[in-house]
Structure 1
Amino acid sequence: MAHERKTSGARTHRAGAFDVRAIIALLLGIYGVVLLVMGIGFTSEADLERAAGVNINLWTGLALTVAALLFVAWARWRPILVPDDEAEQEQAG
């Protein structure tokens, strides 16, 4: 594998898509993009009046999108390393 590392004699690999941070980032990113689109294209003057002149969808969407990007960066910089299965190691060895 491209992401294999040797640590203390045991072979490991990255958790990849099964990392919970990737799932959280995906959900936050989807909600963020939906709110960004709603804030940019579908906010009426009545909506702005009810929110004291603040485009809440736009700002919340921006915050969620930034949070999703931070989760992705965190998962890339500090990956979770999972030990390889012993049966796989015996077959390879």
Structure 2
Amino acid sequence: MAEKGHKAGLFDLRLIIAVLFGIYGVVLTIVGLGFTTDADLAKADGLNINLWSGLGMLVVAAFFGVWTFTKPLVVPDEVPEAEG
């Protein structure tokens, strides 16, 4: 039996999370690549935290985006009435 309903589309929370992680990831990656000073690196024991955090957020955003499109959320057209 096929499920009747429609896809959540832009209202799927996973897509909203993916977009937010993607935006923050791009910003942190740009800051990590272009605006990190030697003083910033010294505070973090030589690790470019902005760059690695940004790349990690982009990976999470890609995961949520792929998950949203491979397993779309189906919203039923009618809500069944509760018995009892």
Gaps of 5+ in 1: 1-5, 87-93
Structure with more relative contact order (C-alpha pairs < 8 Å, separation 6 or more): 2
**Secondary structure of the equivalent of 1:79?**
coil
Picking from 49, 52, 56, the partner of 1:63 is 56
Following superposition, the deviation at residue 80 of structure 1 comes to 0.3
Number of aligned residue pairs: give it.
Answer: 79
The CA distance in 2 between the partners of 1:85 and 1:30, in whole Å, is 35
Deviations 1:9-51 (A, max 9, x none): xx31110000000010111111100000000000001100110
Mapped pair 1:7 → 2:14? no
TM-score normalised by structure 2 residue count: 0.87
Q: Any residues of structure 2 matched to 1:15-54 within 5 Å, and which?
A: 15-54=8-47
Ranges of 4+ aligned residues in structure 1 off by more than 4 Å: none
Structure 2 residue matching 1:13: 3-state secondary structure: strand
CA distance in 1, matches of 2:72, 2:42: 45
Unaligned runs of 5+ residues in structure 2 are 80-84
Alpha-carbon offset, residue 82 of structure 1? 1.0
For residue 66 of structure 2, what is the amino acid of its counterpart? A
Which structure is larger by alpha-carbon Rg, 1 or 2?
Answer: 1
TM-score by length of 1: 0.79
